[in-house]
Amino acid sequence: MAILNLFVPKDRKFFPLFEASTLNLVEISNVFYEMLKCNDVQKRKEMTRTIEDLEHVGDKLSHSIFNELNLSFITPFDREDIHALTSAIDNVVDNIHGAAKRIDIYKVEEIDESMVKLGELIRMGSEELHKAVTLLKNNKKTAEISACCVKINTIENHADDVFDMTIGRLFEVEKDAIKLIKIKEILSTMETATDMCEDAANVIQSIIIKHA
């Protein structure tokens, strides 16, 4: 019982921080998706600033998790998994922010249909990640968590296909090299966001295996 008491308080610390992190990610991915569907350059600029603010919130949450990790003797799962999951969530956020910032800095006027598609996939992946993290505190939900991870893998594969096809087409039709550089880099940053989401899912799957 004493051991259980030592364990439980940690759960009360880590799980809410993880859930807050992925909830923040869901919010960022929603703002980003709205931004991609918006034609008003000025409004897009404002949404980029919102994403920036939310990124700072995410940084603080990651910082809290790392502090907690350094101060805790007992953790709900392996220290390196907590570290890897936090970093992966952080990387998804960073790449969404990076894509939004580039759209702003590069003064992109028309958002390509493929970007909206990738934005939707990032949003879907973020939601599955939040769902998986929320279920993680209940160690009876292994099958449901696994299903989320499988979905994230499918989403990443889909994003890969959209990216490859779009890049192939871009090199065929876009003769303005500078415009090509801009679009290619934004698409690539978005595709990396889905990769990082898959990284997070892989950490979650390894946590599940260890606790099975």
With contact defined as beta carbons under 8 Å apart, do 195 and 94 qualify?
Answer: no
Q: Taking the complex as a whole, how short is the minimal distance between the CB of residue 110 and a second copy, in angstroms?
A: 16
What x/- string results for residues 101 through 120 when contact with a second copy is judged by CB under 8 A? x---xxx-------------
Site for a second copy (CB under 8 A): which residue of 5, 39, 42, 70?
70
What are phi and psi for residue 40, nearest 5 degrees? -85, 110
Give dist(CA 209, CA 172) in Å, integer: 45
Nearer to a second copy, 7 or 171 (CB): 171
38 binds a second copy (CB under 8 A): no
42 binds a second copy (CB under 8 A): no
Nearer to a second copy, 140 or 175 (CB): 175
Q: Which amino acid is at 211?
A: H
Closest by CA to 44, choosing from 115, 92, 93, 114, is 115
With contact defined as beta carbons under 8 Å apart, do 106 and 182 qualify?
Answer: yes
Q: Taking the complex as a whole, how short is the minimal distance between the CB of residue 27 and a second copy, in angstroms?
A: 23
Beta strands in 80-199 (DSSP E): none
Q: Is 78 left (phi over 0), alpha (psi -120 to 50) or beta?
A: beta
Nearer to a second copy, 74 or 181 (CB): 181
Chain positions 146 to 175 lying near a second copy, rule: CB under 8 A, are 164, 167-168, 171-172, 174-175
Q: Taking the complex as a whole, how short is the minimal distance between the CB of residue 26 and a second copy, in angstroms?
A: 25
Give dist(CA 156, CA 150) in Å, integer: 10
Q: Taking the complex as a whole, how short is the minimal distance between the CB of residue 10 and a second copy, in angstroms?
A: 16
140 binds a second copy (CB under 8 A): no
Nearer to a second copy, 126 or 189 (CB): 189
71 binds a second copy (CB under 8 A): yes
Q: What does the radius of gyration of the chain's CA atoms come to, in whole angstroms?
A: 18
Q: Taking the complex as a whole, how short is the minimal distance between the CB of residue 209 and a second copy, in angstroms?
A: 4
Terminal C-alpha separation, the chain? 22
